[in-house]
Amino acid sequence: GAVVSQHPSWVICKSGTSVKIECRSLDFQATTMFWYRQFPKQSLMLMATSNEGSKATYEQGVEKDKFLINHASLTLSTLTVTSAHPEDSSFYICSAMGLAGVDQETQYFGPGTRLLVL
Amino acid sequence: GNSVTQMEGPVTLSEEAFLTINCTYTATGYPSLFWYVQYPGEGLQLLLKATKADDKGSNKGFEATYRKETTSFHLEKGSVQVSDSAVYFCALRKYGGSEKLVFGKGTKLTVNP
């Protein structure tokens, strides 16, 4: 149980295009989802927290207009990187927390999406 | 503010060696403490956790004890395997506050046969 998937697992795009990454909780309802960014050989940097049906809360220094987050349902959150540039290339990881059927203290992580912007 | 400090790696061990990865934290109140593991090219998996002082989390032969007096949550395993090669992250979640996790920088472990 408590499986979180991400799609795509990797994506290559041209500079200036937008890329959408999906995060799904497959067997539980995710009341809260988190989006992280991980640079090579570094820790995870929290980008934003989203609750179903409400606006995401962004961490300081994260551009809201560049990283659009939508948590439209209890099983799906999306991160859209708008007008991507090479410096946006990174490993993006989502996580989810739920209330029923899972440990309420634990964030369950997706496998990550590797983005390369050319 | 809340923070987590992990021993810097990388750590290289031979199979069946004893492993310790140190983790200390700074937090107000009584945070929950976690160890996550990240295998190459993958996301993070919860390895173990402890939610109050003196709790011991354990999983897959790994153990960590929540020591409030030393604000530590060191990860240990008596006999590592090649398959344990991964990056290990210590993290805390503030009690009664935000659900956000605060991560350490990670420690890369390589186990050689």
What are the tens digits of pLDDT across the range B91-109?
A: 998 866 567 888 999 999 9
Quickly state the pLDDT bin for A41 (edges 50, 70, 90). confident
B103 contact residues in A (CB cutoff 8 A): 43-44
Give the pLDDT confidence score for residue A53 in this predicted structure. Answer: 79
Give the pLDDT confidence score for residue B40 in this predicted structure. Answer: 84
Select from A6, A43, A97 the Cβ nearest to the Cβ of B105: A43
CA of A37: which chain B residue's CA is closest? B43
Mean pLDDT, to the nearest integer, of B70-96?
93
The structure tokens 């149980």 sit at A1
pLDDT tens per residue, range B34-50 = 999 999 878 889 999 99
pLDDT surpassing 80 at residue B67: yes
Average pLDDT for chain A: 91
Give the pLDDT confidence score for residue A22 in this predicted structure. Answer: 97
Average pLDDT for chain B: 92
| Residue A25: both structure tokens together | 């909780």
Mean pLDDT, to the nearest integer, of A62-81?
93
The structure tokens 């050319």 sit at A118
Among residues A25, A73, A34, which one has the least CA distance to residue A52? A73
Give the pLDDT confidence score for residue A58 in this predicted structure. Answer: 93
Give the pLDDT confidence score for residue A42 in this predicted structure. Answer: 76
Quickly state the pLDDT bin for A95 (edges 50, 70, 90). very high
The structure tokens 């069946």 sit at B16
Give the pLDDT confidence score for residue B96 in this predicted structure. Answer: 61
Query: Number of H helices and number of E strands within chain B?
Result: 0, 12
| Residue A49: both structure tokens together | 């927290």
pLDDT surpassing 90 at residue A12: yes
pLDDT surpassing 90 at residue A79: yes
Give the pLDDT confidence score for residue B24 in this predicted structure. Answer: 97
CA of A35: which chain B residue's CA is closest? B100
Angle at B62 between CA B34 and CA B68, to 5 degrees: 45
Select from A43, A93, A106 the Cβ nearest to the Cβ of B43: A93
Quickly state the pLDDT bin for A100 (edges 50, 70, 90). confident
pLDDT surpassing 60 at residue A3: yes
Q: Given an 8 Å threshold on Cβ–Cβ distance, is A107 in contact with B49? A: no
% residues pLDDT > 70 (chain A): 100
CA of B106: which chain A residue's CA is closest? A43
Is some CB atom of chain A closer than 8 A to the CB atom of B30?
Answer: no
Mean pLDDT, to the nearest integer, of B13-18?
97
| Residue A60: both structure tokens together | 């300081």
pLDDT surpassing 90 at residue B6: yes
